[in-house]
Amino acid sequence: MTDDEKTKPTDAATNDSGAPEKPDPTDDLVTTHHTLHTPDGDLSYAATTGRIVLRQEVHKEDKYDGRKPKAEVSITYYTLDDTDVTRRPVTFAFNGGPGSSSVWLHLGLLGPRRVDSGDVGSLTAPPYGLVDNLETLLRVSDLVFIDPVSTGFSRATEGEQAKPFHGFTGDLESVGEIIRLWTSRHDRWMSPKFLIGESYGGTRGAALAEYLQQRFGLFLNGVMLVAPALNLETLFDGEHSNLPHPLFLPLYAATAQYHGLLGDRTLDEVVAEARDWAETYSSVLARGARVPDDERAAAVTKIASLTGLSEDYVDRANLRLEHTRVYAELLRSRRLVTGRLDTRFTGPADHYLHEQMPYDPFMSATSGPYTAALHHYLRGELEYEHDAIYEVLSRQVRPWSYQEFEGKAVDVADKLATAMIINPHLQVHIAMGRYDGGVPVEAVEYSLDQMAIPASYRDRIETRVYQAGHMMYIHPESRVAQAADLAAFVRRASNRV
């Protein structure tokens, strides 16, 4: 073959307009091999990262027109070398947002490497670092981390709209298809299978448990939900809804106690008192203007004594404390705001007249370490190079569509209940943070209490509360305890105890 023949381009395919057709995207994956030295022995594993093409079946005029590429989804997965796939569990992991990549669970709790970010009061300075995660869930399960479309490196394919993925059903279908595809390609249909999702990832995870079973017949062994947003009505101060206020009260009490506003009362004491008074609080709010003046005044005093807020503030708020305003108000005298996702964290405001918190000190403390660690890890250790922005937290997904819930609250507890009824072996693990100011413990418990399942089924739901916030694994002691709890859950639900 001559040099001219070697370099001569071949005739490109053309479309109906005569323009050259662009080739379909292909999977873009890199695999590396590693060994993690743990007290229980060495873990030799393969790490694969990159993007896989998500295709959707297309029909034109009732005729099948093939599977067309719609998105390229970034994914990282870890598998142990030389294991029996019929016995080795696999866990599919994702975070929430909507608009969050999977970096938090990946490098904070589950993966074989974790970020060195520090905790409140002892934050690690830039450029941070990565350390071995000796408590990784990889000890008991293979791991698959998924970045939904428009997060991480995941994007709609060229010429395709991302909007169909930016909503409850589109997101559910796309993440579900990635799980089905990975399970099929890796011959893992006979493996014990788990989901773990955090925050809106809990919304997604609860709904996915039902969707995977109903759509694909893919039955799970377990669902692990970390600070799950199961019922959004419990979390936001909606018009004419009094539901969130009593559910947030124990969180406010815990926060006030942590910051030294409640004297010598212990955490357990103030939380128990707030929980005990919650039903009275609900009754007072429900009666509105019918509440006698003396009873209302007593409620003002009680709320102030539990939250550390002034009676004047509680009175002016008409007993209804919206959480982002509380986090701006609580430490105003110290010229600080508290975190939302972890109320242990504090930070200065640019001025002290903010009605609502101007930023979340917790996110400011954690976004830098996780972003830096992720970029180094992918290129420097997993040898994957990509020049696109890795969207750790993307606003491109907004507005997020909840059209399926028009006229009613976004609530997926019923979907988790259906999944448990259809699959009598499905186990559920719920992790909550006492200082989680976004998804308080009592809001999650309320959602679980409303699930329409037989009383005996509740034995299949286990809950854990950690003395930290939304990402409870930021707190070293909580991370170690949570890692042990998750590993025990996977072993038990896999029938591998």
Annotate 412-436 with b (16+ C-beta within 10 A) or e (fewer): bbbbbbbbbeebeebbbbbbbbbbb
Quick: pLDDT tens for 278-329.
999 999 999 999 999 999 999 999 999 999 999 999 999 999 999 999 999 9
CB contact set of 261 (below 8 Å; sequence gap of 6+): 308, 330
Confidence category of residue 18, pLDDT binned at 50, 70, 90:
low
Quote the CA–CA distance of 236 and 147 in Å, as a whole number. Answer: 26
Q: What is the pLDDT of residue 67?
A: 80
Domain with CATH 3.40.50.1820 in the chain: 30-233+394-493
What would the CATH number be for the domain defined by 30-233+394-493?
3.40.50.1820
Quick: pLDDT tens for 128-151.
999 999 999 999 999 999 999 999
Asked if residue 88 has pLDDT above 60, the reply is yes
- CA–CA distance from 299 to each of 99, 105, 209, 317, 321 (Å)? 39, 40, 41, 12, 13
SS3 101: coil
The H or E element spanning position 118 is: strand 118-119
Q: What is the pLDDT of residue 9?
A: 41
Q: What is the mean pLDDT of residues 3-19?
A: 47
> Taking the model in full, what pTM does it have?
0.93
Q: Strand (E) positions, 400-467?
A: 427-433, 461-466
Q: In this structure, which amino acid lies at residue 422?
A: I
Is 365:342 a contact under the CB 8 Å cutoff? no
Asked if residue 66 has pLDDT above 80, the reply is no
Confidence category of residue 462, pLDDT binned at 50, 70, 90:
very high
Name the burial class of residue 109, with classes exposed (0-12), middle (13-18) and buried (19+) by CB atoms within 10 angstroms of its CB: buried
Asked if residue 424 has pLDDT above 90, the reply is yes
Q: Classify residue 300 as left (phi > 0), alpha (psi -120 to 50) or beta.
A: alpha
Quick: pLDDT tens for 233-244.
999 977 678 999
Q: Which of 3-7, 297-301, 319-323, 470-474 has the lowest mean pLDDT?
A: 3-7
Confidence category of residue 166, pLDDT binned at 50, 70, 90:
very high
Calculate what percentage of the chain has a pLDDT beyond 90: 85
Q: What is the pLDDT of residue 175?
A: 98
Quote the CA–CA distance of 82 and 111 in Å, as a whole number. Answer: 19
Q: What is the pLDDT of residue 60?
A: 77
Query: For the chain, what is the mean pLDDT?
Result: 93
Asked if residue 14 has pLDDT above 70, the reply is no
Confidence category of residue 6, pLDDT binned at 50, 70, 90:
very low
Quick: pLDDT tens for 180-208.
999 999 999 999 999 999 999 999 999 99
Calculate what percentage of the chain has a pLDDT beyond 70: 95
Query: DSSP H helical segments within 13-152, as ranges?
Result: 103-105
